[in-house]
Amino acid sequence: MKNGYFSFILHAHLPYVRHREANRLEERWVFEAMTETYIPLLWVLQEQEQPACFGISFSPPVLEMLSDPVVQRRYVHYLENTEELIRKEKSLNPSGMIADIVRFYEKRYKKIRETFYQWGQNLINGFKHYEAEGKIECFTTAATHAFLPYIQTKEALRAQIVHGILTFEKHFGKRPAGFWLPECAYTPGVDKILFEEGIRYTFVDEHTLKNGSPKPDREVGAPVYSSHGIVLFPRCEAISQEVWSSITGYPGDFDYREFYRDIVYDRDWEYIKPHVHPEGFRTDSGLKYHRITGPTEEKAYYVREWAENKAKIHAEDFIQTIEERLEKKKEECYPPHLITSPFDAELFGHWWFEGPDFLSSVLEKGRGRIEFITPSEYINRHYRDLETIHAAFSTWGRDGYGDVWLNEKNAWMYRHLHKCEREIISTVARYSTQEPLRKRYIQQMIREWMLASSSDWAFIVDNDSATAYAINRFTEHIERFHKIYEQLKSNRISSSFIVEYEKDYPFLETIDTTIFQTSHDHYIKQHYKNLNSDTEKMNIAMLSWEFPPMVVGGLGRHVFDLAKQLVKLGANVYVITSDVEGYPTHEINEGIHVYRVKGLQPQNENFFHWVGSLNLAMMDQVRNLAKLIPFDCIHAHDWLVSVAAKGLKQELSIPLIATIHATEHGRNNGIHDPLQFEINQKEWELMFEADEIIVCSNHMKNELCEVFQVPENKVTILPNGVDPELFKPEAIHDYKYKQHGETLVFSVGRMVKEKGFQTIIEAAHLLKNEQDTIKFVIAGKGPLLEHYRRAVHEQQLSDIVHFIGYVSDEERNRLLAECDIALFPSHYEPFGIVALEGMIAGKATVVSETGGLKDIVKHEETGLTIYPNDPASLASAVLRLAREPGLRKKLALSGKHVAKNVFNWERIAKKTLKLMEQNTQKNNHVGSGV
Partner 1 sequence: MINEIVKLKEEGLTLQQIAEKMNTTVGKVQYRWNKYRLKMNHSAKLAELPERENDQKEELHENFEWTIPPEYNEDDLFSMVHSPTAIFAYWSLSDSKRHMVEHHFRTPWQSLPKRLKVYDVTDIEFHGHNSHRSFEIELPEMTNNWFIRGLEPNRSYCVDLGTKTFDGSFFTILRSNTIETPRIEADSLQAEKVLNWKSGNVAEPEWLENFCSYSYYQKIR
* DSSP states of 519-551: HHHHHHHHHTGGGGGGGGS-EEEEE-S--TT--
Q: Is 154 in the site for partner 1 (CB under 8 A)?
A: yes
DSSP 661-718: ---HHHHHTS--SHHHHHHHHHHHHHHHH-SEEEESSHHHHHHHHHHS---GGGEEE-
- At closest approach, how far in Å is the CB of 160 from partner 1? 12
Residue 320: count other Cβ atoms within 10 Å of its Cβ.
12
Residue 680 interacts with partner 1 (CB under 8 A): yes or no? no
In angstroms, give the least distance from the CB of 391 to partner 1. 9
Instruction: Tell me if 504 contacts partner 1 by CB under 8 A.
Output: no
Residues from 99 through 128 that contact partner 1 (CB under 8 A)? none
Per rule CB under 8 A, is residue 733 in the interface with partner 1?
Answer: no
If the CB atoms of residues 512 and 521 are measured against partner 1, the closer one turns out to be 521
Q: Which of residues 439-468 bind partner 1 (CB under 8 A)?
A: 467-468
Q: Which amino acid is at 111?
A: K
Could you tell me the smallest distance in angstroms from the CB atom of residue 280 to partner 1? 18
Task: Decide if residue 681 touches partner 1 (CB under 8 A).
Answer: yes
Rounded to an integer, what distance in angstroms lies between the CA atom of residue 152 and that of residue 395?
17
Tell me, by CB under 8 A, how many residues bind partner 1: 101
Q: Cβ 207 to partner 1, closest distance in Å?
A: 8
Alpha carbons 340 and 815: distance in angstroms, whole number: 82
Q: Are 637 and 659 in contact (CB under 8 A)?
A: yes
493 binds partner 1, rule: CB under 8 A: no
Binder among 232, 643, 777, 835 for partner 1 (CB under 8 A): 643
Least Å distance, CB 102 to partner 1, is: 38
Q: Out of 479, 730, 786, 799, which residue is the one contacting partner 1 (CB under 8 A)?
A: 479
3-state secondary structure 867-930: CCCCHHHHHHHHHHHHHCHHHHHHHHHHHHHHHHHCCEHHHHHHHHHHHHHHHHCCCCCCCCCC
Measured distance CA(4)–CA(323) in Å, rounded: 9
Residue 628 in contact with partner 1, rule: CB under 8 A: yes
CB of 600 to partner 1, least distance (A): 4
Q: Does 658 bind partner 1 (CB under 8 A)?
A: no
Q: What sign has the CA pseudo-torsion 919, 921, 926, 928? A: positive
Contacts of 454 (CB under 8 A, 6+ apart): 15, 16, 61, 144, 145, 146
Beta strands at 715-717 and 743-748: parallel, antiparallel or unpaired: unpaired
Tell me how far, at minimum, the Cβ of 479 lies from partner 1, in Å.
Answer: 6
Question: Which one among 320, 650, 709, 798 touches partner 1, defined by CB under 8 A?
Answer: 650
- What 8-state DSSP symbol labels residue 118? H
- Cβ proximity to partner 1: between 264 and 478 the closer is 478
Does 883 help bind partner 1 (rule: CB under 8 A)? no
Q: CA 809, 815, 818, 823 torsion: positive or negative?
A: negative
Kindly state whether residue 636 participates in binding partner 1, applying the rule CB under 8 A.
no
CB of residue 150 vs partner 1: minimum separation in angstroms?
A: 6
Minimum gap (Å) between residue 555 Cβ and partner 1: 20
Alpha carbon distances (Å) from 759 to 423, 755, 783, 854, 882: 63, 9, 17, 18, 18
602 binds partner 1 per the rule CB under 8 A: yes
Q: Which residues contact 470 (CB under 8 A, 6 or more apart)?
A: 456, 457, 458, 460, 461
Torsion of CA 445, 451, 455, 461, to 10 degrees: -110
Among 625, 717, 766, 804, which residue sits at the site for partner 1 (rule: CB under 8 A)? 625
Please give the Cα distance from 713 to 86 (Å, whole number): 93
Identify the CA nearest to 219 among candidates 393, 337, 334.
337
Which of 49, 80, 114, 403 is the binder for partner 1 (CB under 8 A)? 403
Closest distance of CB 376 from partner 1, Å: 22
Interface mask (CB under 8 A) for partner 1, residues 336-355, using x and -? --------------------
Is residue 513 at the binding interface for partner 1, with CB under 8 A as the rule?
no
The binder of partner 1 chosen from 160, 285, 443, 615 (CB under 8 A): 615
CA distance 587 to 594: 5
Is 483 an interacting residue with respect to partner 1 (CB under 8 A)? yes
Among 603, 713, 901, 921, binds partner 1 (CB under 8 A): 603
Per CB under 8 A, contacts with partner 1 among 518-577 are: 518, 520-521, 524-525, 528
Judged by beta carbon, residue 467 or residue 758, the one nearer partner 1 is 467
Residue 478's SS3 state is: helix
Q: Based on CB atoms, which residue is closest to partner 1, 32 or 521?
A: 521
Show contacts with partner 1 in window 405-444 (CB under 8 A). Answer: 406, 408, 411-412, 414-416, 418-419, 421-422, 425-426, 429-430
- Least separation in angstroms between CB 496 and partner 1: 12
Establish if 606 lies at the interface with partner 1 (CB under 8 A).
yes
Residue 641, sorted as left (phi over 0), alpha (psi -120 to 50) or beta, turns out to be alpha
Minimal distance, residue 594 CB to partner 1, in Å: 10
Work out whether 922 is an interface residue with partner 1 (CB under 8 A).
Answer: no
Q: Which of 214, 274, 591, 885 binds partner 1 (CB under 8 A)?
A: 214
Q: In the range 295-334, which residues lie near partner 1 by CB under 8 A?
A: none
User: Of 823, 774, 771, 767, whose CA–CA distance to 795 is shortest?
Assistant: 767
The amino acid present at 777, given as its one-letter code, is V
Closest CB to partner 1 among residues 392, 902:
392
Instruction: Point out which span in 69-77, 101-109, 225-233, 808-816 binds partner 1 (CB under 8 A).
Output: 225-233
Smallest distance from partner 1 to CB 924, Å: 23
Establish if 139 lies at the interface with partner 1 (CB under 8 A). no
Residues 513 and 155: their CA atoms lie apart, in Å, by 10
Contacts 24+ apart (CB under 8 A), 884-889: 887/844, 888/820, 888/821, 888/844, 889/844
Q: Does 152 bind partner 1 (CB under 8 A)?
A: yes
Minimum distance, C-beta of residue 156 to partner 1, in the bound complex (Å): 9
The end-to-end CA distance of the chain, in Å, is 99
Binding flag, residue 627, partner 1 (CB under 8 A): yes
What are phi and psi for residue 859, nearest 5 degrees? -55, 130
Minimum gap (Å) between residue 130 Cβ and partner 1: 37
Residue 486 found at the interface with partner 1 (CB under 8 A): yes
The phi, psi pair for 835, rounded to 5°, reads -65, -40
Residue 188 binding partner 1, by CB under 8 A: yes
Nearer to partner 1, 207 or 290 (CB): 207
